[in-house]
Chain A
């Protein structure tokens, strides 16, 4: 059994007395029966990394990893649906919006599931899919974009920030059932966050405001995705 071979290097070496050459090639061979999955899954966790590599203590999701995967999923005929699992604390605006736009423009069925947290720029990614789920205990924090680094106090700075903010708001409003006014109200709410203005939505609240479609977990998400896949098959077959 290989279940615990990852527990330590010594154990691992004992159990696999490998030849000197060719071990890397061997590693790539799957020992388990390979069930062809028609659903692929992308996890978006930690910080969404943008144009700057973040320090190693951050868990990051890099767009250079996700974007090619999305392209491959869209293009591969064997893959029929995509499940996106989110547990993110936000990150780069441009990278987050890029991922959200890519997911939204896919023709294959996509279902997203927010587990733990889908904060800040995680919100547009969560709503970008065809159908979105949130775990009962998961939270989503909606707050305004802050300007970091050197801030020049001129009206243009505010304008720029406002434009960035609008990009996010517009995307979320377009891809979910939330009203723009409600979203802005939630975003500029005071009295919820200690260090910031904004709102924390827990599970059902996100559904109530129309941000997320349904409260649920992995089971429901996969079931919904299969439903969407079957619908798509029928509509393609019917034409």
Chain B
């Protein structure tokens, strides 16, 4: 890996051993990044889409709490 950045490397790599606890889930073809706050709940961290209309959906605003339901594919 070769980083080409204006940020000092010690800042970029600080806490590289820390674990990520974000989950990527897909709702209606929209990928969202969710941080689990409970067994069945998650907080939306960000929306990943190139469609600007998706970001206007109030239910997908970052900070919203959504409920997980068991997957059909268990």
Contacts and interface: CB of A to CB of B under 8 A. Distances in A.
B67 A90 contact: no
A27 B58 CA distance: 10
Interface in B11-52: 12-16, 18, 20, 22, 27-31, 37, 41, 43, 48-52
Contacts of A148: 2-3, 9
Given A58-B12, A164-B2, A23 B58 contact: no
A73 B50 CA distance: 8
A63 B8 CA distance: 22
Interface string A1-27: 011011101001100001001111101
Interface residues of B, number: 45
Residue of B16, B27, B64 with most chain A CB atoms under a 10 A cut-off: B64
Contacts of B3: 50, 90-93, 148
A147 B63 CA distance: 38
Given A52-B1, A94-B2, A12 B65 contact: yes
A37 B5 contact: no
B53 A56 contact: no
A6 B6 contact: no
Interface residues of A, number: 64
B65 A24 contact: no
Contacts of A51: 1
A54 B17 CA distance: 10
Contact of A24 (B43, B56, B67): B67
Contacts of B15: 55-57
Given A23-B66, A54-B13, A54-B16, A90 B4 contact: yes
A215 to B, nearest CB: 21
Interface of B: 1-9, 12-16, 18, 20, 22, 27-31, 37, 41, 43, 48-53, 56-69
23 contacts: A7-B63, A24-B69, A25-B27, A25-B28, A27-B28, A29-B28, A31-B58, A37-B53, A40-B51, A47-B5, A47-B7, A51-B1, A54-B12, A55-B14, A56-B18, A72-B50, A90-B4, A90-B6, A92-B1, A92-B2, A117-B6, A119-B6, A145-B4
Ranked nearest first, the 7 interchain pairs of A and B with the lowest CB-CB distance are A28-B28, A90-B5, A6-B61, A2-B58, A40-B50, A6-B63, A28-B27
